[in-house]
């Protein structure tokens, strides 16, 4: 895994200092080496974390055999050895996956993207065309930001901090992004927190030529559900997942696995064992009665892994926030980012690459609210004008059920999902805070508001790249660790996306396809498990004196930068030691961390 950067402008040699500042700001993404290459009108930079082809043959920026093309890549191209066999005419210099993209580009130009699997963000400078071609992977596993500098330079990098480090742009805060953050706790993967720094969305490509930028979507999620029996689905499921795991074990360093003791990570560990016996597994747990460590140890014992347990350390939470939050560059309110940082930090002591069980919930229907949405849809009051008319009268006399309340409040399960699930501040509350702007993200398909599968598709294009992959990438890269996600293998993910929702969940069971296919790989207690988070309690965190002092310093001082964007007096009403309070604290932390540029 790496950090990439570039400046496209006339007189490329004039930008050596700027490109060095950009790559230096991302040393955590690539501590092994730093290089840059200069053309007359392009300067490319790279920080390297050596994983495949550890020799100098794998270093970047990497020239093609003709020197006409030069690439910087952040990511991994899974199954690149098989792709390489299709481009045997190219005179390979080394054995890295990066060079395969150059071979593909020479033959297919921009059309290469349709045949490129894996997680990636890359840029190729074509000197003959005087053109830059960039692309980001389908599910947003790797980041890509860009901006136009004060002298019309095209600037790009893996992180916002690198673009700011160039000194070529003065950022302006984006009110729409602030609104989206306050609602969901993260910035949309179609925006950045700044109106003049842009993100290349997942599944999109970008071409710069003659000062003009063209951005287009190259991939859309499969929009239709398949017709398939459970027995057929199980057979394809295990075949595709084994293939995904096998491809993601390719590295010239040791590959380990995160193991929470949940169904998803236990499945990954079980299949890794078929290709890599005695793997290293690592678990993080809080020392309380609901800790998942005991479940993780069951799987570790079953597969005889080299198991590492990371126990919660009673650290200064306020100091942890001050140390960790700057790695995000944007406000980010997922409460699990601190434990995620800790497990990545401990994993890096023994490993450079780790497999994760992320995104199983979105693919197999594992979240509790999916079950609620299924019940909402099947409730007699769902979209029934007559029933809802009667219930509106009845509720004035007697209490009504939760499902009835939600069906009266929201027009569909999609409306409920977007405006109730994982929401912190409602539109009215954001308005009270002084945020009148709103933002509605688009999708690669037209969601059916009554389709449970489309709700999961929405999460794959909204929550997964905006929250989950941001957390995974930033916390891993903060510790110079590469995290791979087998469930996002394109063949496996597409298969799961198209499975009919009755193979994912019903009113009694979640993750039906996973349980039916992988149950024999687990222990008995794991088979009976349902989803459990890290067991964090925001309320208990706010009981810590140092955290409350940090909160008071940042949220009760009118002079703090955050109050350039939200109303001070309104903010005080929301400091109630809950998720809203946490959301505001993270926004204030971001403003504090970036006060020199705000």
- Residue 139 is given by DSSP the state T
Name 384's Cβ contacts closer than 8 Å, sequence gap at least 6. Answer: none
DSSP3 helix / strand / coil % (the chain, rounded to 5): 45, 15, 40
Cβ atoms < 10 Å from Cβ of 390: 12
Report how far apart the first and last C-alpha atoms of the chain are (Å, whole number). Answer: 30
Class of residue 507 by CB neighbours under 10 A (exposed 0-12, middle 13-18, buried 19+): exposed
Cα separation of 45 and 544, whole Å? Answer: 43
The residue from 2, 134, 344, 496 that is catalytic is: 2
For 171-199, give one letter per residue: b (16+ CB within 10 A) or e: bebbbbbbbbbbbbbbbbbbbbbbeebbb
Cα separation of 354 and 73, whole Å? Answer: 19
Tell me the residue length of the chain: 598
- Does residue 2 carry a catalytic annotation? yes
The residue behind tokens 């955590």 is: 28
Tokens of 81: 């050895």
Closest CA to 482 of 165, 28, 166: 28
Tokens of 331: 């406000």
Question: Which conformational region is residue 422 in: left (phi greater than 0), alpha (psi within -120 to 50 degrees), or beta?
Answer: left
Question: Which conformational region is residue 540 in: left (phi greater than 0), alpha (psi within -120 to 50 degrees), or beta?
Answer: alpha
- For residues 590, 592, 594, 598, the Cα torsion angle rounded to the nearest 10 degrees is 110
Are the CB atoms for 341 and 475 separated by under 8 Å? yes
Cα separation of 516 and 521, whole Å? Answer: 10
Class of residue 94 by CB neighbours under 10 A (exposed 0-12, middle 13-18, buried 19+): middle
Class of residue 411 by CB neighbours under 10 A (exposed 0-12, middle 13-18, buried 19+): exposed
Cis peptide before 513 (omega within 30 of 0): no
Cα separation of 36 and 366, whole Å? Answer: 44
Tokens of 487: 């469930």
Name 481's Cβ contacts closer than 8 Å, sequence gap at least 6. Answer: 1, 344, 347, 348, 351, 352, 353, 354
Are the CB atoms for 141 and 488 separated by under 8 Å? yes
Active-site positions read 2
């Amino acid at each position: 895994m790496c950090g990439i950067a570039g400046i496209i402008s006339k007189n490329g040699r004039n930008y050596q200092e700027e490109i060095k500042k950009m790559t230096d700001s991302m040393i955590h993404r690539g501590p092994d080496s730093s290089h840059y290459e200069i053309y007359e009108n392009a300067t490319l930079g790279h920080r390297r974390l050596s994983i495949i082809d550890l020799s100098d043959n794998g270093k970047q920026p990497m020239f093609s055999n003709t020197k006409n093309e030069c690439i910087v890549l952040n990511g991994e191209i899974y199954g690149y050895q098989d792709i390489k066999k299709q481009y045997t005419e190219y005179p390979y210099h080394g054995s890295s996956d990066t060079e395969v993209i150059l071979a593909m580009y020479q033959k297919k130009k921009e059309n290469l993207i349709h045949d490129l699997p894996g997680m990636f963000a890359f840029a190729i400078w074509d000197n003959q065309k005087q053109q830059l071609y960039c692309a980001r992977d389908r599910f947003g596993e790797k980041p890509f930001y860009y901006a136009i500098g004060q002298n019309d330079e095209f600037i790009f990098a893996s992180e916002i901090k690198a673009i700011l480090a160039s000194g070529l742009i003065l950022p302006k805060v984006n009110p729409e992004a602030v609104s989206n953050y306050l609602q969901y706790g993260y910035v949309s993967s179609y925006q950045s927190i700044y109106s003049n720094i842009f993100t290349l969305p997942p599944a999109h490509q970008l071409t710069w030529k003659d000062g003009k930028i063209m951005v287009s979507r190259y991939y859309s999620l499969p929009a239709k559900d398949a017709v398939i029996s459970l027995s057929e689905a199980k057979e394809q499921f295990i075949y595709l997942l084994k293939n995904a795991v096998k491809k993601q074990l390719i590295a010239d360093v040791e590959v380990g696995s995160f193991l929470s003791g949940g169904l998803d990570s236990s499945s990954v560990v079980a299949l890794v064992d078929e290709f890599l016996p005695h793997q290293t597994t690592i678990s993080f747990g809080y020392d309380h009665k609901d800790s998942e460590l005991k479940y993780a140890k069951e799987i570790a014992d079953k597969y005889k892994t080299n198991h590492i347990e990371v126990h919660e350390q009673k650290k200064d939470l306020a100091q942890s926030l001050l140390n960790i939050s700057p790695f995000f560059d944007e406000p980010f309110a997922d409460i699990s980012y601190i434990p995620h940082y800790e497990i990545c930090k401990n994993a890096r002591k023994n490993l450079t690459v780790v497999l994760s069980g992320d995104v199983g919930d979105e693919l197999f229907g594992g979240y509790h609210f999916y079950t609620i949405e299924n019940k909402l849809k099947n409730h007699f009051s769902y979209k029934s004008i007559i029933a809802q008319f009667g219930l509106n009268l009845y509720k004035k006399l007697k209490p009504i059920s939760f499902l009835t309340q939600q069906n009266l409040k929201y027009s569909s399960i999609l409306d409920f999902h977007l405006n109730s699930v994982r929401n912190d501040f409602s539109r009215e509350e954001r308005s009270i805070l002084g945020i009148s702007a709103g933002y509605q993200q688009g999708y690669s398909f037209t969601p059916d508001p009554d389709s449970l599968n489309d709700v999961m598709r929405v999460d794959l294009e909204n929550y997964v790249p905006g929250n989950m992959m941001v957390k995974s990438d930033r916390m891993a890269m903060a510790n110079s660790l590469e995290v791979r996600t087998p469930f996002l293998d394109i063949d496996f993910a597409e298969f799961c996306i198209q499975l009919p929702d009755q193979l994912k969940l019903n009113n009694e069971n979640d993750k039906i396809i996973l349980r039916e296919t992988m149950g024999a790989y687990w222990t008995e207690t794991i088979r009976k498990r349902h989803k459990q988070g890290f067991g964090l309690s925001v309320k208990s965190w706010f009981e810590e004196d140092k955290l409350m002092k940090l909160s008071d310093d940042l949220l009760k001082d009118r002079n703090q930068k955050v109050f350039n964007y939200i109303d001070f007096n309104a903010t005080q009403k929301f400091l109630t030691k809950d998720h809203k309070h946490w959301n505001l604290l993270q926004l204030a932390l971001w403003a504090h961390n970036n006060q020199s540029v705000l």
